[in-house]
Amino acid sequence: MVVTRFAPSPTGYLHIGGLRTALFSYLWAKKNGGKFLLRIEDTDKARNSQEATDAILRAFEWLGLEHEGEIIYQSNRDEIYAQYIKQLLDEGKAYRCYMSKEELTELRESQMANKERTKYDGKYRDFDGTAPDGVEPVIRIKAPLTGEILVRDGVKGNVSFQAEDILDDFVIARADGSPTYNFVVAIDDYLMGVNEVIRGDDHLSNTPKQIVVYEALGFDLPMFYHVPMIHNSEGKKLSKRDGATDVMAYKEMGYTPASLLNFLVRLGWSHGDQEIFSMDEMQDLFNPKDINKSASIYNTEKLDWLSSHYIKNTSNAELAKLLEQYGLILTSHDKKEILLDALKDRAKTLKELAELTNEIIVAPISYDEKAVKKAFKEDSIEVLNAFGAKISSCDELHLPSDYHHLMEDVVNEMGIGFGKIGQPLRVALLGKMSGPGLDNVMAIIGRDETMLRIANAITVHS
């Protein structure tokens, strides 16, 4: 059974790169009928934030990425880690190091002066003397001093590290007894049954140390997949300006879970030329071995294109529910279908759809100056008065076609082009020159509101 995990640290928001890793892990587990687990790596008590933890869980709930079983919190597992530290000490695979901070600093400065790699020199590796006074020891693991550490990676292939170039006897427990990252990650992954680890390739340098822990404890190694980073259009690390922001900010910006997940799955993975994937298709087609070896490029235009696609293909009933987060209650609106049909092709995000909706259902309180200058000519008031009179004489106006026929009547009777009525009427109804078809707008707001907006525009611009 394939068991994957996502293991964020609650020291900040869940960003887009972390979410992609979670998605890849989720899809691979689901494809294989396995388990996707969630672990909160909250051992850094000084930097941990309950608010950050809550934000991570909200993001998973919003996106529908359900994990199996209980959430594992590392902060609750100190006794487990202590047992394995004791085991390694008892087996002679780890030892207490009494080197003071001052000694360690002096050693590193000397190595730097000699242009050597800074590393612990193994002073206490085989120490059997009397412990020095006043020094609380750290626990170091006995790492191999020579030889090869081989990382079998499903994305990058076999990656070889020379022990003497990258390893020293690294600390697995600090002087206060708290365990270190690479130690607890290996233990937790093993105890949770995680056998396939998908994570960013910024973790690749940690992997040899974790392999040392696995082997010292006699644990079976998982399969690793190190996913290349997401870069901006300039090939640099993502910044907040580029999109490396809190995942929940994407909800606030008006992206749907489906569009965001579809966008992420294509950052570094592909299936031919296919761009649109349902969740079922993602689960069926995804394979981490097909992840690109090079960094992927974040493209906001692509996200907007996907978002607009999903909005266009979402039912009006569902869109009405989604728009409630913006204070729009359309479920009982009698012109909901006309309204959303008129606007859903024009919006890239739900937020934009909400703004476009409000521009129709809320009467303008001001008029765009450039639009007024372009639309209101000598005869514009006369045309609007004629159209207003036509509307007031008709009691049965419901469909867009009903209003369109009245516009045609005025055009024919006054011998003018459609622009002569369309431009001033658009400004009167919306306060600007852009927007959906006027017949749709009038059908949505209704006869009385149409007459009122025309009368207000005539009063202001006469």
Q: Could you report how far apart the first and last alpha carbons of the chain are, in Å?
A: 76
Q: What is the mean pLDDT of the chain?
A: 93
Q: What is the pLDDT of residue 253?
A: 94
Of 177, 199, 227, the domain-final residue: 227
Given 285, 317, 349, which residue is the final one in a domain? 317
Closest CA to 269 of 21, 33, 7: 21
Q: Is residue 192 one of the residues assigned to a domain? A: yes
- For residue 187, the domain's CATH number is 3.40.50.620
DSSP string over 155-168: TTEEEEEEHHHH--
pLDDT of 234 reads: 85
Residues 115 and 202 placed together within one structural domain of the fold = yes
pLDDT the model gives residue 377 = 87
Q: In sequence order, what DSSP letters do the residues of 208-227 get, joined into one string?
A: HHHHHHHHHHTPPPPEEEEE
Query: What CATH code is carried by the domain that includes residue 286?
Result: 1.10.1160.10
Q: Are 279 and 414 contained in the same domain?
A: no
Q: Does residue 266 fall inside a structural domain?
A: yes
Query: What's the confidence (pLDDT) of residue 241?
Result: 73
Neighbours of 332 (CB within 10 A): 7
Identify whether 97 is part of a domain.
yes
Q: What DSSP designation does 201 have?
A: G
Instruction: Please indicate, yes or no, if residue 10 is contained in any of the structural domains.
Output: no
Instruction: Specify whether 283 is located in the same domain as 382.
Output: no
Residue 46 has a pLDDT of 66
Whether 84 and 223 map to the same domain: the answer is yes
Q: Residue 299: give the domain boundaries.
A: 247-317
pLDDT of residue 332: 84
**What is the per-residue pLDDT for 204?**
96
State how far the alpha carbon of 119 is from the alpha carbons of 31, 107, 221, 437, in Å: 43, 8, 26, 71
Question: Is residue 72 in some structural domain?
Answer: no
What pLDDT score was predicted for residue 235? Answer: 85
Residues 221, 256: one domain?
no
User: Does one domain contain both 285 and 216?
Assistant: no
In a domain, residue 447? The reply is yes
Does one domain contain both 82 and 222? Answer: yes
Predicted local confidence at residue 302, as pLDDT: 96
Q: Same structural domain for residues 221 and 88? A: yes
Q: Are residues 205 and 251 in the same domain?
A: no
Closest CA to 364 of 257, 445, 272: 445
Assess whether 89 and 217 both reside in one domain.
Answer: yes
Residue 313 inside a domain? The answer is yes
- Is residue 334, in this structure, part of any structural domain at all? no
74 contacts 38 by C-beta, under 8 angstroms: no
pTM of the model: 0.90
> Tokens for 371?
């639009």
Q: Is 374 annotated as a binding residue?
A: no
pLDDT value for 198: 98
Q: What is the CATH number of the domain that holds 377?
A: 1.10.10.350
**313 and 383 within one domain:** no
Give yes or no: residues 132 and 179 share one domain: yes
How far is the CA of 6 from the CAs of 104, 201, 360, 432, in angstroms? 35, 14, 44, 48
Domain count, the chain: 3
Q: In Å, how far are 46, 269, 323, 346, 438 from 256, measured between CA atoms?
A: 34, 20, 11, 16, 29
- Give φ, ψ of 412 to 5 degrees: -70, -45
Give the model's pLDDT for residue 133: 85
pLDDT at residue number 49: 73
Within a 13 Å sphere around the CA of 61, how many CA atoms are in the beta-carbon half? 6
- Collect the ranges in the chain with pLDDT lower than 70: 46, 244
